[in-house]
Structure 1
Amino acid sequence: MKHRIIEGRLEYTSRKPEMEGQNRGFETFMFTHHSDGKVTMRAHCEIYDPEPTVMRDIIYAIDEHKQPMDCHVRLTVGDEFMGSGWMRFDGSHVEMESYGPTIGRLSQRVAAELPLDGFGTHPIVSDGYMLSTKDWDKETKRLLNCYLPSPDHRGATPPQIAQVKIGAIYLGKEEVTVPAGTFQCKHLQFVDDASIVPGTGGMAGEHPAYDVWITDDEDGLFVQGGVGGYMMTWYELVELKR
């Protein structure tokens, strides 16, 4: 085969005092690295807590220049179908074809604000991979310009085009041990605070600080991370196959 495959699983746990360490969901993923430099990411996500439950299936393609190509999302909330949509970026516009019981059949096309840093697809591994495509040797703070199918913090709304600008900070390199192994990592943080990174905001209300550790290599795999504030959640890589 000319392509390379990476597969893994993340566990979601709670850090709320009354639920410390309890499982609140999981994510399985697969990255296909094609010989022409393109990448296809697939992810299945399930969130059990808080109610209503969320189930998300994603197929996301990125080109050899780390630009989004297309993304398909199918969403179930409270174990009921919420919507399905397909996004595409052609270099100048973002378009979306979607359907959901509350929005009906929807076609959208908007001129994209450039440069575009990626599609915000909501799987945790996608968050890490987006950060891995940036050159952190040149700067420690960035304003990321993204388009996504939902500005909700859990992505639990019918697929429609939304633009979000969120800050990212590079905090250095660390060695991290999780159930899947020990990894040399970059430690970064998403921030939705204009006093830290000007221009941030838009995630349907301020998003709590979100720490992310990714492998310090070309794959940029999510190893561990957590969100503070009202969410108080933790994510950890428990299985990996390269």
Structure 2
Amino acid sequence: MAYLRRHAGRIVYHHADGPQGVEDFGIDVRADGRTFRAYCEMAEGALTRDASWSLDADLRPLEGQVRVVQHGHLIGSSWYHFTDQGVRCESVSASLGPTSKIVAGRFAYLGLHPLVGDGAIALARGTDVPGMERTIPSITCSYDVNGETELVALPIEIGVTYLGKEDLAVPAGVFAADAYELSWQPQWPSARLWVHGQDAVFLRLTWDLTGLDCQLEHYREATESTSAWFAGGSHAHR
């Protein structure tokens, strides 16, 4: 079977002052890996982010790309290719111009800043040894909270703790969830993440640093035989 299953949905970035953004995403799961796509719109900075990336059958990053527009101007874009020896990044940005960079090492995660990508770091961490923080060797496009600076290959060690299972209600429905704690920088408070199922589909993330409570608002899943993309039918989870 070429495609095993497909996920699609919308995440809304909630704040005490009202919604601050949306993220539309898709995940294709295949026998030899998976591909993620995300388009993010954020009120802060009038920012849009267009990102896609792929993982291999062992859930390691293969390649990816991200493009950022802010206040109507292209800030930059970058492309990544991963091997066992390192990651190559080709980028162009308003601040740095064209750049080419290679970072040595085998990285377990590529963080391009869409929230659906945080589900992929849950896959890298797994669900063994609840309560233990595991450091995930990663590459990110930006050390900035909103991911609009640098846009090159930046190494980062992300601390991920699996907390356990719980039932979680979000606007898209009630799901069996796996809960995690994420630590990106030692000077930042940790974030709380909930994901669903064997593909770690994003459900919710809360982070005191930004005051955001991001939740899955719409969701649908399909197999190859039922997909609206492949065979003309689908089913939704509400």
TM-score bucket of the superposed structures, by smaller chain: 0.7 to 0.9
Deviations 1:91-130 (A, max 9, x none): 1111111111221111111212x4x221111110101222
SS in 2 for 1:151: coil
State the Cα RMSD in Å.
1.5
Q: Which residue does the alignment assign to 1:25?
A: 21
User: For the residues of structure 2 that align with 1:219 and 1:30, how far apart are their CA atoms?
Assistant: 12
Provide structure 2 residue ranges, at least 5 long, that are not aligned to the other structure: 222-238
Q: Which residue does the alignment assign to 2:190?
A: 209
TM-superposed deviation, 1:179:
1.3
TM-superposed deviation, 1:135:
2.7
Pick one of 159, 180, 203 that aligns with 1:188: 180
Q: Which residue does the alignment assign to 1:101?
A: 94
TM-superposed deviation, 1:171:
1.7
Pick one of 74, 98, 102 that aligns with 1:81: 74
Task: Assess if the C-alpha contact under 8 Å between 1:153 and 1:207 holds in 2.
Answer: no
Higher strand fraction (1 or 2)? 2
TM-superposed deviation, 1:138:
3.3
Q: Which residue does the alignment assign to 2:227?
A: none
| Sequence identity percentage | 27
Deviations 1:48-78 (A, max 9, x none): 03xx222100110100011100011111122
Deviations 1:196-217 (A, max 9, x none): xxxx64xxxx3332110111x2
Q: Which residue does the alignment assign to 2:114?
A: 123
User: For the residues of structure 2 that align with 1:170 and 1:237, how far apart are their CA atoms?
Assistant: 20
Task: Assess if the C-alpha contact under 8 Å between 1:8 and 1:239 holds in 2.
Answer: yes
Task: Assess if the C-alpha contact under 8 Å between 1:12 and 1:25 holds in 2.
Answer: yes
Provide structure 1 residue ranges, at least 5 long, that are not aligned to the other structure: 193-199
Query: In the alignment, does 2:213 pair up with 1:234?
Result: yes
Q: How many residues align?
A: 219
SS in 2 for 1:126: helix
TM-superposed deviation, 1:185:
0.5
Task: Assess if the C-alpha contact under 8 Å between 2:31 and 2:57 holds in 1.
Answer: no
> What amino acid sits opposite 2:15 in the alignment?
S
Query: In the alignment, does 2:18 pair up with 1:43?
Result: no
Q: Under a length normalisation based on structure 2, what TM-score does the superposition of the two structures give? A: 0.87
Deviations 1:204-233 (A, max 9, x none): xx3332110111x2111111111103x111
User: For the residues of structure 2 that align with 1:69 and 1:163, how far apart are their CA atoms?
Assistant: 16
Q: Under a length normalisation based on structure 1, what TM-score does the superposition of the two structures give? A: 0.86
User: For the residues of structure 2 that align with 1:39 and 1:88, how far apart are their CA atoms?
Assistant: 15
Query: In the alignment, does 2:3 pair up with 1:11?
Result: no
